[in-house]
Structure 1
Amino acid sequence: MWDDQFEDIMRRYVPFLDADEPLDPDAGLRDLGLDSMGIIEMMGALEATYHVRFLDDMLNLHTFATARTLWLSVSKMVETVS
């Protein structure tokens, strides 16, 4: 569904996910330990990695609800830049 870079970034900011546990695309990121500071830091990592910028209307709980919703947002931004 997503690339290894995205998976690596996600795992850095969800402390309740064990290293050997698969990242469920539909698991709530807050349930996995993502907090508001983690969201900000994760955004920076995603922007730097994918050379994209989160627009103001994307800065909401829906975008960061699950790995799936976040990847869909990131992949759309990447398509727009390409």
Structure 2
Amino acid sequence: MTTTPWPGQFETMLRSYLPLLRPDKLLDAELSLTDHGLDSLATVSLLLDLEDAFGVTVPDDRLTMTTFATPQELWNVIDELLMTGSAS
């Protein structure tokens, strides 16, 4: 698990894909993304935006339901790619 806290850019981007998350609600690390409105179409758009914003390419084997289950799981993948230099 990563120890790097996610940046504001990640949170802002993620929140834009969660229509059921109230603006005043904390984006908790274990928040269920699907319970807050992240559907399959939004997942693809979010992935593309994250790859573009952070200059990484998420490998196919990391494109799982687990990766997109919570903010922490998703950030762990992005952070790991940033740390290993797996830029696009």
2:57 counterpart residue number? 53
Deviations 1:13-71 (A, max 9, x none): 01111111110110110001100011000001100010000101011101000000000
Q: Which structure 1 residue ranges, 4+ long, deviate > 3 Å from structure 2?
A: none
Aligned length: 82
Question: Residues of 1 paired with 2:10 and 2:79: CA distance?
Answer: 10
Alpha-carbon RMSD across the aligned residues, in angstroms, is 1.0
Is residue 2:69 matched to residue 1:73? no
1:10 counterpart residue number? 14
2:39 counterpart residue number? 35
TM-score normalised by the chain length of structure 2? 0.89
Question: Residues of 2 paired with 1:15 and 1:58: CA distance?
Answer: 24
Question: Residues of 2 paired with 1:15 and 1:24: CA distance?
Answer: 15
Q: Unaligned regions of 5+ residues in structure 2, if any?
A: none
Q: Unaligned regions of 5+ residues in structure 1, if any?
A: none
Please state whether the residue corresponding to 2:52 is helix, strand or coil: helix
Question: Residues of 2 paired with 1:20 and 1:35: CA distance?
Answer: 22
1:44 counterpart residue number? 48
